[in-house]
Amino acid sequence: MHTTWVELDAAALRDNLRTFQQRVAPAAVMAVVKGNAYGHGLAEVADVLRGEAAWFGVNALHEAEALRRDGHEARVLILGTMHPAQAGAIVRGGFSQAVYDHASLDALDQAATRAGTRARVHLKVETGTNRQGLAGSALCHLAAEARARAGIELEGAYTHYANVEEAEEFGYAAQQLRRFEQALARVETNSPVSVKHTACTAAAILYPQTYFNLVRVGIGLYGLWPSAETKRAACAADRTLALRPALSWKCRIAQIKDVPAGEPVGYGCTFRSERPSRIAVLPAGYYEGLDRGLSNTGAVLIGGRRAPIAGRVCMNMTMVDVTKIPTATAGDEAVLIGRQGDAEISADEMAAWAGTINYEVVTRIAAMLPRVVV
């Protein structure tokens, strides 16, 4: 039925989650599903993990509400920015909210008081990433305020590492961990915080000292390594994991064209056939999430063989050279990411072609494309 679609391997997704659960036990695992579950499909991923994940991590309220509409009862932490006007919906949904400013705390307190309940908040601790968060006296003051509010439950505290994915040694991350522990000691002077978390995928793989009692697993949940450095460090420390990519991206050949030698293909005439060629037109372009930087650089799989991209990636179409794949015909399956026969194009390889990271490659696959669970 579909001309361009994403396939989600449910068994791989569950296996990846269980692999991390075993690695970090007794800490719990938060399945991070922000960014449309890293492009894999929020509804589909959450449904596969129903009853498996104790926590879901999202970026924004609309993602949290989508989980509740689908009947998910797992705890949900909104990691991104909230607008004070969203406080009522956050309280009604029973979501936990990251906070690092007084306006958010005030709004949540007022909304919870009106509802006769308490809003659960997680303090974001600034330790050296210099993104969200507070440090020092500002953090302590906000924590004290949270504890003084009848409508607030100070449920958690957390931080995020700046370079734990890209460094093969723990130096800067260790400094951040010390800062977090020092801040936590000040915040917990009068009473403990029940949920503490710092570890992302890379830290979960490599550094048990970062676990506390909750670990946030994002890219690794989907069977992708955070970086080559993480993988090398894991191998060196005998801490590697058997992760299985959960995503394949496919389309069907729309048309095959015979192009004479010397003829251009696509916008800008950036590709000219050096010989009589067979060009396949694919119904996927940069609107669907295929990076324009793959023009004349990337490839797809057709008939278990690589077909190089010929010319520029268009908005909704891409042309590939199938001259060396004589059996290719309209309607055949083309694999943009994934396996076909013995051949494979990984998200990491596509990222290298485009000069980016695997996170961006999968997350930018258009949300409107069908996600098919297999």
Angstrom distance (rounded) from CA 141 to CA 315: 50
> Catalytic residue at 196?
no
> Catalytic residue at 267?
yes
Angstrom distance (rounded) from CA 201 to CA 217: 5
Closest CA to 308 of 273, 339, 276: 273
Active-site position among 38, 158, 196, 267 = 267
Angstrom distance (rounded) from CA 15 to CA 49: 10
For 125, which DSSP code? B
Within the chain, residue ranges assigned H as helices are: 10-24, 34-38, 42-48, 61-69, 87-93, 102-115, 136-148, 171-187, 201-206, 228-236, 347-354, 358-363
Q: How many helices and strands, by DSSP H and E, does the chain display?
A: 12, 20
Closest CA to 120 of 135, 104, 133, 132: 104
> What is the distance between the terminal CA atoms of the chain, rounded to a whole angstrom?
15
> What is residue 271's three-state secondary structure?
strand
- Residue 191 CB contacts under 8 Å (≥ 6 apart), including other chains: 147
The residue behind tokens 């505290």 is 157
Closest CA to 253 of 14, 4, 41: 4
Active-site position among 34, 196, 231, 250 = 34
Closest CA to 123 of 216, 215, 193: 193
- Residue 261 CB contacts under 8 Å (≥ 6 apart), including other chains: 273, 274, 275, 276, 277
Catalytic positions: 34, 267
